[in-house]
């Protein structure tokens, strides 16, 4: 029997974008390095190893996000207990919208996500720690 998906991925992303603040790459660049903002990279580790990393960003894989944010979780990470703004990003800006929405619904605030993700960051010539060459 075929599944009947009634709420698709793009509809979920659209709803998330309606709920959370979206910042441009230019605005994110202006915030980068600020002691008031924590950049959260939710990409898979393989993406980081292939595409590079944003200097200073904290890597929180999307699959662990809820457990790492919740202070009652045995997997909680102290980075999510700071009184700072949290800027989420992924490769293209869709997963980060969902991640920021989830974080905001959990009570983390303030949160936002970066439009266009790491791909837009790189394209704009923003700082990147390039991956090590594979031999």
For residue 135, pLDDT over 90 is answered with: no
Do the domain assignments include residue 82? yes
Q: Which of 92, 38, 81, 40 is nearest to 64 (CA)?
A: 40
DSSP 86-122: EEEE-SSSSHHHHHHHHHHHHT--SEEEETTHHHHHH
Structural domain count, the chain: 1
Domain contains 72:
yes
Per-residue model confidence as pLDDT tens digits over 67-97: 999 999 999 999 999 999 999 999 999 999 9
Residue 1 falls inside a structural domain: no
**Which among 118, 88, 121 has a CA at the least distance from the CA of 106?**
88
Instruction: Note whether residue 48 is domain-resident.
Output: yes
**Lowest-pLDDT range of 1-5, 59-63, 114-118, 125-129:** 1-5
Question: Tell me, what CATH number does 48's domain have?
Answer: 3.40.250.10
Closest CA to 38 of 98, 100, 124: 100
């Amino acid at each position: 029997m075929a599944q009947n998906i009634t709420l698709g991925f793009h509809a979920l992303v659209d709803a998330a974008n309606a709920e959370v603040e979206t910042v441009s790459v230019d605005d994110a660049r202006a915030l980068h390095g600020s002691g008031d903002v924590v950049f959260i990279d939710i990409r898979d580790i393989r993406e980081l190893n292939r595409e590079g990393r944003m200097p200073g960003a904290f890597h929180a894989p999307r699959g662990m996000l809820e457990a790492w944010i919740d202070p009652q979780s045995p997997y909680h990470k102290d980075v999510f207990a700071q009184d700072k703004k949290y800027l989420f990003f992924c490769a293209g800006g869709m997963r980060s919208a969902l991640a920021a929405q989830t974080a905001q619904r959990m009570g983390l605030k303030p949160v936002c996500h970066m439009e266009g993700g790491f791909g837009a960051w790189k394209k704009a010539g923003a700082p990147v720690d390039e991956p090590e060459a594979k031999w």
